[in-house]
Structure formats: C-alpha cells, structure tokens
C-alpha cells in the first residue's frame, strides 16, 4: 500500500478517538511506527500526522463543548446524563486543577476523550485547555511512536508493549473513575 493512504488512515484514527473513544488509535499509531521501523513509513511523519489530527479534533470537540455544551446539559437529555451539581463540580475541578489536571487526564485511556468537551463546557480558557492537551498528546503519541519504532522488531512485540502500557493506564483510569463515582454518590447523599 502506498504511504499516503497509510498516513491518512493513521490521522483519521487519531482524530476520531476524540469523538468516539473506543476507536483503537493507539494500536493504529503503533502499527504506523512499526511500519516506520521497517522503512515503509517515516517515524517523524507518523508522529506529526498523529499529533496534528489528534490535537485538531480535540480542539474542535473543546470548541463545540464551549459553545453548545452548557445548553445541551441544561436540556432534558443532558440533565439526565450529567446533573447541574456534577457540572458545577467539574467546573470547580477545572478551576482548581486546571492545566495540570487536563495534562494528566489526557495521558489516561477513557479520560483522554472526556477532557476536551468538558473543558469547553467549563469554559476553561483556550490556552489553559489546549496547550496541556497538545503537550500530553505529543508526549503520549511521541512515546508510542518512539517505543515501537526503536524497541519492537515484530508487530506482536509492538502490540505487547502497547498493551502493557494501556493495561496499566486503564487500571489507573478505572481507579479514578471509581473514586469519582463514589464522590458523586456521597455528594448526592449529603445533598438529600
């Protein structure tokens, strides 16, 4: 397959991840880095395409959240998904933890896709939201590209490395999710 469609596919997966989180963007980037390790693609272009498309779609989702998110969550469906008190908590968390919270969350599976729209809904300034998102994306996808390009001579090894890293981060993300759910439950009980 020619290189251009491969680069376009990598970019598409990296972009769609921010809109539909189950998309396996990490695996596609690892595959691109693996192909770069075998001289089929260029590792710098794999990274650049991934980073630009991922940050671009994160920025788009952030802007949609900033302009339409509050109205959506005040509507009938939105109130069922996220209550007004939960939105107030999210805004307070962004105000308190801001950029470093956004940065760390963008490194965790599942949370990675949640950060941009809620940063927009919470009206975090573009600089405080997009700079840490872009930095975390550069670190994450740069790390995947470098690890697989340098350290994984076979595709199975590349996927094992990526799988191990994602399992560890998934456990961390699950722990954070459980803490958040417990916190929300306790807040609701206290409010009653």
The arithmetic mean of pLDDT across residues 41-49, rounded, is: 96
Both tokens assigned to 14: 């990296």
Could you tell me if 53 and 15 are in contact, meaning their C-beta atoms sit under 8 angstroms apart?
yes
Got the DSSP string for 6-58? HHHHHHHHHHHTTTSTTS-HHHHHHHHHHHHHTTSS-HHHHHHHHHHHHHHHH
- Residues with Cβ within 8 Å of residue 130, at least 6 apart in sequence: 55, 58, 59, 62
pLDDT in tens, 59-115: 999 999 999 877 777 777 777 777 777 777 777 777 777 788 888 888 877 778 888
pLDDT in tens, 141-164: 999 899 888 876 777 776 777 677
Both tokens assigned to 56: 């671009």
The CA distances from residue 100 to 45, 106, 108, in Å, are 28, 10, 13
Q: Is the pLDDT of residue 118 over 90?
A: no
């Amino acid at each position: 397959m020619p290189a251009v469609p491969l680069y376009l596919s990598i970019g598409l997966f990296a972009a769609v991840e921010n809109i539909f989180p189950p998309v396996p963007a990490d695996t596609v980037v690892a595959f691109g880095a693996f192909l770069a390790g075998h001289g089929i693609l260029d590792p710098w272009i794999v990274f650049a395409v991934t980073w630009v498309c991922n940050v671009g779609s994160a920025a788009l989702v952030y802007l949609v959240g900033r302009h339409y998110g509050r109205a959506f969550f005040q509507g009938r469906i939105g109130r069922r998904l996220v209550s007004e008190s939960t939105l107030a908590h999210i805004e307070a968390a962004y105000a308190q933890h801001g950029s470093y919270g956004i940065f760390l969350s963008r490194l965790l599976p599942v949370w990675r896709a949640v950060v941009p729209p809620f940063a927009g809904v919470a009206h975090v300034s573009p600089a405080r939201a997009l700079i840490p998102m872009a930095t975390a994306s550069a670190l994450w996808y740069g790390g995947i590209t470098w690890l697989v390009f340098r350290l994984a001579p076979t595709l199975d090894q590349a996927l094992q490395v990526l799988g191990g890293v994602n399992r560890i981060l998934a456990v961390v993300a699950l722990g954070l999710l459980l803490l958040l759910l417990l916190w929300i439950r306790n807040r609701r009980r206290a409010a009653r």
